[in-house]
Amino acid sequence: MIKRIVILSDCVDVAYNEVRAIILKELGSKEDKIIIEPLVKIEPFSIINGAFLLRLLAEAYPPKETLFLVILNPLKQRPARIMGETLNGIKFVGANTGVFGWLAQDFGIKNIYEMKDPGFIAFGGKFVHAPIAAKIVKGIDLKTLGKKKDNSFLFDYKIHDGTVVHIDNFGLIKIKGEKLNYSDGDQFFIYINNKRKIKAEFSRRMMNLDDGRWVIYSGSSLGGMPELGKVRCTDGAKILNIKVGDKIKWSKVN
Instruction: Break the chain down into helix, strand, coil percent, rounded to 5.
Output: 30, 30, 45
CA angle 249, 239, 75 (to 5 degrees): 70
- pLDDT for position 254: 81
10-residue mean pLDDT series, the chain (254 residues) = 96 97 93 94 98 98 97 95 97 98 97 92 95 96 95 95 98 98 97 97 96 97 97 96 98 92
- CA 86 to centroid of chain Cα atoms: 16
- Beta pairing class for 81-86 and 164-167: unpaired
Give the per-residue pLDDT at 70: 98
Q: Is 177:232 a contact under the CB 8 Å cutoff?
A: no
Q: Say yes or no: do domains 4-153 and 164-252 share a fold.
A: no
pLDDT score at 118: 87
- Residue 143 CB neighbours (<10 A): 10
- Paired with 147 in beta bridges are 114
pLDDT recorded at residue 29: 85
The CATH code of the domain at 4-153 is 3.40.50.10790
How far is CA 144 from its chain centroid?
28
**Helix residue spans in 14-72 (DSSP H):** 14-27, 47-58
Q: Spell out the CATH class of 164-252.
A: mainly beta
Domain ranges in the chain? 4-153, 164-252
The pLDDT, as a whole number, for residue 31 is 79
Angle between helices 130-137 and 14-27 (to 10 degrees): 40
Nearest-angstrom CA–CA distance, 229 and 171: 7
Please state the separation of Cα 121 from the chain's center in Å. 25
**Secondary structure (3-state) at 197:** strand
Q: Is the pTM of this model over 0.85?
A: yes
What whole-number distance in Å separates Cα of residue 146 and Cα of residue 126? 18
Q: What is the pLDDT, as a whole number, of residue 221?
A: 96
